[in-house]
Amino acid sequence: MCRADIEELFANHRLIDNYMHCFKTGHKCTPDLLKAKELLPNIFQSKCSKCTEEQKINSIKIIEWAIQNRPDDFLEVEAHYDPHHQFRKDYEAELNARNLMLPPLK
């Protein structure tokens, strides 16, 4: 997914809803969403160690957008793919330095 595709995604609530539904339930996933969904454990638990550089950049952009715009969805996805909160440990200082606060755990 390139930068233009990500901006389109952020502007399209229906697409965002589809992404979140796929990530949270595993249902109604397109082939592209299935590929993205398969990366989620690696993104959350090991700083995207198996990702290409483009996947790393795009995954962080999407996560940051979700933190700011869909915090409840972010928390649900985080709970499912990162129950030990490794992402928070790895990225919290970096996000805070950019004035992005992780939503509090429920």
Q: Answer whether residue 98 shows pLDDT above 90.
A: no
Residue type, 28: K
Domain ranges in the chain?
A: 3-97
* Per-residue pLDDT, 106: 82
Considering the entire predicted model, what is its pTM?
0.88
Burial 1-16 (b: 16+ CB within 10 A, else e): beeeeeeebeeeeeeb
Give the pLDDT confidence score for residue 60 in this predicted structure. Answer: 87
The number of C-alpha atoms within 13 Å of 30 and in the hemisphere containing its C-beta is 8
The two tokens of residue 77 are: 């996805």
What token pair was written down for 22? 């796929």
pLDDT tens-digit profile of 14-62? 999 999 999 999 998 999 889 889 999 999 999 899 999 988 888 888 8
Architecture of domain 3-97: Orthogonal Bundle (1.10)
Going by C-alpha positions, the residue among 54, 52, 70, 90 that lies closest to residue 15 is: 70
pLDDT at 5 over 70: yes
